[in-house]
Structure 1
Amino acid sequence: MSDSNYIKIFTGSLINVQRIISDLEKIDISPVIKDQNESGLDPKIYGGHLLKEIYVHKDELEKAHAIIKNIN
């Protein structure tokens, strides 16, 4: 996504990502979610930790950062 208009705003666990997504959608931001497996292995088989990344359009970055600050 480096050549796109989307910027990564958060990486974390499913629970935190779901909360942020919910808050972003309340202010009409539609985030893009990407799964990021830390170990490169299937977490269901090998026990790796599955992280998720949240991306937002660069035009919505300022509003999205306000949501992230409230979560942290």
Structure 2
Amino acid sequence: MTDSFSLLYTGSLIDVQRLKGALEDINIFPIIKDETESARLAGFGAPTMMQQLWVLATELEKAKTLL
């Protein structure tokens, strides 16, 4: 089975963590993508500290109610 994810939000670590907690309260378990950390680990620089919050495509509309 292949799950399809959709981008819900891009923002600062603090905002993403707050939203992640709110989503988990309504039984939506998001994935946080941090390209800045990935770039740092690979030895590259990254200009911003922005994270992306991804949710299952089937839960996107329910998750949008928290934005």
Identity of aligned residues (%): 37
CA contact (8 A) 1:41 1:48 kept: no
Structure of greater relative contact order (alpha carbons < 8 Å, 6+ residues apart): 2
Q: Deviation digits for residues 8-57 of structure 1, max 9, x if unmatched?
A: 010000010011001000000000110033xx567xxx683221000000
Counterpart of 1:57 in structure 2 is 56
Report the residue type matching 1:54 in the other structure.
Answer: L
Task: Say if 1:30 and 1:47 are closer, same or farther in 2 by CA, change over 3 A.
Answer: closer
Structure 1 vs Structure 2 CA RMSD? 2.1
Using structure 2 for the length normalisation, give the TM-score: 0.77
Using structure 1 for the length normalisation, give the TM-score: 0.72
Counterpart of 2:32 in structure 1 is 33
Report the residue type matching 1:13 in the other structure.
Answer: S
Task: Say if 1:59 and 1:47 are closer, same or farther in 2 by CA, change over 3 A.
Answer: closer
Paired residues, number: 61
* Unaligned residue ranges in structure 2 (runs of 5+): none
Q: What CA distance in whole angstroms lies between the structure 1 residues aligned with 2:61 and 2:22?
A: 14
Structure 1 segments of 4+ aligned residues over 4 angstroms from their partners:
none
